[in-house]
């Protein structure tokens, strides 16, 4: 009989009592090793904790297995104390890459930051943002007047993107969702799906009058004049899912809820 796929486990949890209690019980049952000695990281919480964990271990080769002990757990497996080692051994692996955002401010400063969920641009004042969108160097939308815009990965498509009525993308889909936030003109434009290998450039028009901020997940830059986003294929994190996780079913169910 072969040895279990993962034996040395490091646990991380959100700071809620429910997640911390779950962590203590799992450590008592399975033991724990330091992160630098681990084969796998088990994250206990919701999708917010999963996002933090993905960033935290982006430069490592440790796969991440999430169990739901939070408020939202679209990307988390069902929580069960029993059979954890067996579940880790049987889990299916999905490799995800972050978007890399490069934002240029009105003073000429350049900021780079990765985003596993989304890169978003948001108006900073009562004035709507006025944006110009290019894909791979070709201008696709000359003027978009809106509250903002989201470039979402498949992993992030069920987060802010979904709240803005963007499409849900299955993990592993080679697409990015470009979703406007409260578009005023063109009013009928509902966004676009673009290949994940594409470079997306967004220019801020009338930046002095209509200031805009940009965010890569939790990293924010204010008073920007231009943003580019493209998938960083040199960086990745592996996520683990139970074979019966039912992510495809969740995606279908979300799209038929009214």
| pLDDT tens digits, one per residue of 7-53 | 899 999 999 999 999 999 999 999 999 999 999 999 999 999 999 99
Is residue 248 annotated as part of the catalytic site, yes or no? no
DSSP SS3 for 15:
coil
Q: Is the Cα dihedral 52, 56, 57, 59 positive or negative?
A: positive
Q: How far is CA 82 from CA 22, 49, 79, 86, 92, in A?
A: 12, 22, 9, 9, 18
35 phi and psi, to 5 degrees?
-55, -40
DSSP assignment, residue 2? P
Residues annotated within a binding site for NAD(+): 47-48, 117-118, 147, 155, 158-163
Cα–Cα distance, 49 to 72 (Å, whole number): 10
pLDDT class of 245 with cuts at 50, 70, 90: low
Domains of the chain and any CATH numbers: 9-96+236-255 (3.40.50.10330), 99-231 (2.60.200.30)
DSSP assignment, residue 235? -
Residues annotated within a binding site: 47-48, 117-118, 147, 155, 158-163
Candidate list 37, 47, 136, 248, residue with the active-site label? 47
9: tokens are: 């486990």
The residue behind tokens 């805009």 is: 212
Mean pLDDT of the chain: 92
Count each helix (H run) and each strand (E run) in the chain, helices first: 5, 17
């Amino acid at each position: 009989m072969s040895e279990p796929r993962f034996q040395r486990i490091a646990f991380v949890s959100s700071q809620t009592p429910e997640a911390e209690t779950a962590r203590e019980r799992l450590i008592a049952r399975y033991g724990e090793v330091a992160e630098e000695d681990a084969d796998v990281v088990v994250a206990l919480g919701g999708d917010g904790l999963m996002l933090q964990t993905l960033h935290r271990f982006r430069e490592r080769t440790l796969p991440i297995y999430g169990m739901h002990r939070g408020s939202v757990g679209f990307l988390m497996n069902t929580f069960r104390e029993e059979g954890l080692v067996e579940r880790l051994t049987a889990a299916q692996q999905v490799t995800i890459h972050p978007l890399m955002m490069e934002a240029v401010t009105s003073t000429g400063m350049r900021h780079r930051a990765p985003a596993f969920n989304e890169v978003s641009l948001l108006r900073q004042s009562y004035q709507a943002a006025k944006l110009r969108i290019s894909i791979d160097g070709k201008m696709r939308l000359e003027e978009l007047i809106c509250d903002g815009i989201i470039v979402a990965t498949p992993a992030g498509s069920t987060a802010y993107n979904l709240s803005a009525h963007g499409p849900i993308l299955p993990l592993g889909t080679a697409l990015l969702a470009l979703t406007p936030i409260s578009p005023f003109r063109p009013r009928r434009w509902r966004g676009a799906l673009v290949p994940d290998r594409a470079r997306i450039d967004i220019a801020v028009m009338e930046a002095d009058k209509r200031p805009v901020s940009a965010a890569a997940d939790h990293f924010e830059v204010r008073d920007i004049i231009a943003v580019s986003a493209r998938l960083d294929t040199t960086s990745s994190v592996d996520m683990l899912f139970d074979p019966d996780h039912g992510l495809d079913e969740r995606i279908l169910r979300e799209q038929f809820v009214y």
